[in-house]
Amino acid sequence: MPRHYHIVTLGCPKNAVDSRQLSAYLSGEGYEHTEDPARADVIVVNTCGFIEDAKAESVEAVLEAAKWKEAGSCEYLIMAGCLAQKYSRELAQELPEVDAYLGTGDIAGLPALLNTLGSVKCFDAVKTLNSLETKKKDFTLIRVTEPNNYLYNENLPLTPEATGHYAYLKIAEGCDNRCSYCVIPSIRGDYRSRRLDDIVKEAVVLTENGVRELILVAQDTTNYGADIYDGKLMLPQLLAELVRIADLKWLRLLYSYPKHITPQLLKLIANEEKICSYLDIPLQHISDHILKAMGRPIGQKETRRILAEIKSVIPGVTLRTTFIVGFPGESEADFEELLTFVREMQFDRAGFFAYSPQPDTKAAVLPKQVPEEIKQYRLDRIASVQAEIMAAKLARQVNTVLAVIADGPCEEAEGLWEGRTAGDAPEIDGIVCFKPFPKTRPGDIINVRITHSIDFSLLGEICHESGQ
């Protein structure tokens, strides 16, 4: 009788790529995938540890999965990902339900971890594995090595459940930016790019398996290649190779660091139909002294110049960004400056976070920490302003025809499907709901005439004109 595994993926799209690798390693050990955790012999929770809410969500997901150890067939519960990398030893004391912890730096160690879980008969047996520790005699195992030890394994096969009509393609791992509030470098290590040829080969395999939209991810996609190609920013060259893949319809960029956005990149996005006119640029703030305290290398003047250049070179570009409110030292004047900037720039998409102190970061020990109630007040105010901007922008799209990639049946409206425009990343931005034609399939790009805008969604009807 086959053994089964189930993976719960939390956090950012980069974790989705890691889960694809974990899935391949599990498949290589003879396990079969199941969507039903009640049938799983092994459950892996791939966690996020970036902010407090993400940590809490990860722990809650682990506790939920632990129920299947009591009621289902689950034999091993493994906690993987960012939270496991950073806090495994502390968590091992608090979560006895977990059998093993696997860090981001040792994804390739999953087979050895599984084999050890299945074969350990005495306390001393775990000494046979490097970097493996035991918490106690119930054999809770911790396998966490330096995050720089792992990048990506191009030789792993794709498992059937790992692909759909869109897929995340990780082009680099780690980060060199060292922002004062961020734990990512300590969790995922220094920036390290994958070889261009390896990325293209993976993209070809993904499209051969039905992927029509590729979403490039890294901690900083625009810095791609500088570490391995003599300091040269190679993202334009990579994109130029990827658009040549015949079955690929859309290419999308996430996490573009503003400092590394070049004129060459902008011209390529403007001229290549397959590359979505969509840039996700985490700006974090606009006050110069807050940006300096954050460790961001560019200030307000350069930020405004870059945004103006983007809008000039790519007419109609969709700009997404994120901001942190309540950073240590943020005065009411700093916040009002940010609020004015958001109103002025009219970002198409924007996310906001209240600053959350992270252990082992410079910002956590800065003076003038902002009280939680003030953070929440500022967060509510700025989110309300952006909601008004979004509502107005969506309303202006009524009676227009938009190209939409079909994602599948809409969970909240029976008989309707949902999809996304080129300005909407999956699970992050908005959706377009429509009634499908009988032959409509996920991954089809269709023309939809927008009839209504509701909250952060659009409603429309498929046009008879063919899509892309």
User: Domain limits of the chain?
Assistant: 3-149, 160-395, 401-462
Query: Under DSSP, is residue 175 helix (H, G, I), strand (E, B) or coil?
Result: coil
Rounded to whole angstroms, the Cα distance separating 27 from 403 reads 37
Q: Are 162 and 9 in contact (CB under 8 A)?
A: no
Q: Which residues contact 153 (CB under 8 A, 6 or more apart)?
A: 21, 24, 107, 108
What pLDDT shows up at residue 464?
67
Mean per-residue pLDDT, 353-365: 94
Identify whether the C-beta of residue 315 lies closer than 8 Å to the C-beta of residue 361: no
The answer to whether domain 160-395 and domain 401-462 are alike in fold is no
Instruction: Find, among 150, 142, 82, the residue nearest to 117 by Cα.
Output: 142
Sorting pLDDT into bands at 50, 70 and 90, what band is 187?
very high
How confident is the model at residue 154, as a pLDDT? 87
Q: What does each C-alpha distance from 189 to 82, 186, 324, 400 come to in angstroms? A: 11, 6, 23, 45
Q: What is d(CA 370, CA 312) in angstroms, rounded to the nearest whole number? A: 37
DSSP letters for 226-279 = TTTTTT---HHHHHHHHTT-TT--EEEE----GGG--HHHHHHHHH-TTB-SEE
CATH of domain 401-462: 2.40.50.140
Q: For residue 446, what is the enclosing H or E element?
A: strand 445-454
Q: Which residues, 6+ apart, have CB-to-CB distance to 301 below 8 Å?
A: none
Checking if the pLDDT of 20 tops 50, the result is yes
* C-alpha span between 6 and 289 (Å, rounded): 46
pLDDT at residue 160 in the model: 80
| Residue range 339-345: mean pLDDT, rounded | 98
Write the pLDDT tens digit of every residue in 245-282. Answer: 999 999 999 999 999 999 999 999 999 999 999 999 99
Q: Of all helices (H) and strands (E), which one includes residue 170?
A: strand 166-170
Cα–Cα distance for residue pair 386/301, rounded to 1 Å: 22
The pTM of the full predicted model, rounded to 2 decimals, is 0.93
Phi and psi torsions of 9, nearest 5°: -110, 125
The pLDDT score that the predictor gives to residue 163 is 80
pLDDT of residue 390: 95
Long-range contact pairs involving 112-120 (C-beta distance under 8 Å, separation at least 24): 112/143, 113/78, 113/141, 113/143, 114/26, 114/29, 114/42, 114/76, 115/29, 116/141, 117/76, 117/141
Rg (CA), the chain: 23
User: What integer pLDDT is reported at residue 138 of this predicted model?
Assistant: 55
Asked whether 272 and 242 are in contact (CB, 8 A), the reply is no
Range 168-192 average pLDDT? 94
Judge whether residue 152 has pLDDT over 70: yes
Q: Measuring CA to CA, how many Å separate 39 from each of 74, 97, 343?
A: 7, 18, 50
d(CA 224, CA 153) in angstroms, rounded, equals: 18
Q: What is the pLDDT of residues 431-446, one digit of tens each?
A: 999 999 999 999 999 9
Q: Which CATH architecture best describes the domain 3-149?
A: 3-Layer(aba) Sandwich (3.40)
Which of 145, 110, 118, 150 has the alpha carbon at shortest distance from 131? Answer: 145
Percent of the chain past pLDDT 90, that is, above it, reads 79
CA distances from 359 to 77, 117, 181 (A): 26, 31, 9
Q: Which of 402, 379, 179, 196 is nearest to 283 (CA)?
A: 179
How large is the average pLDDT for residues 207-236?
Answer: 97
Please check whether the domain covering 160-395 is classified as CATH 3.40.50.150.
Answer: no
Residue 124 phi, psi (nearest 5) = -75, -15
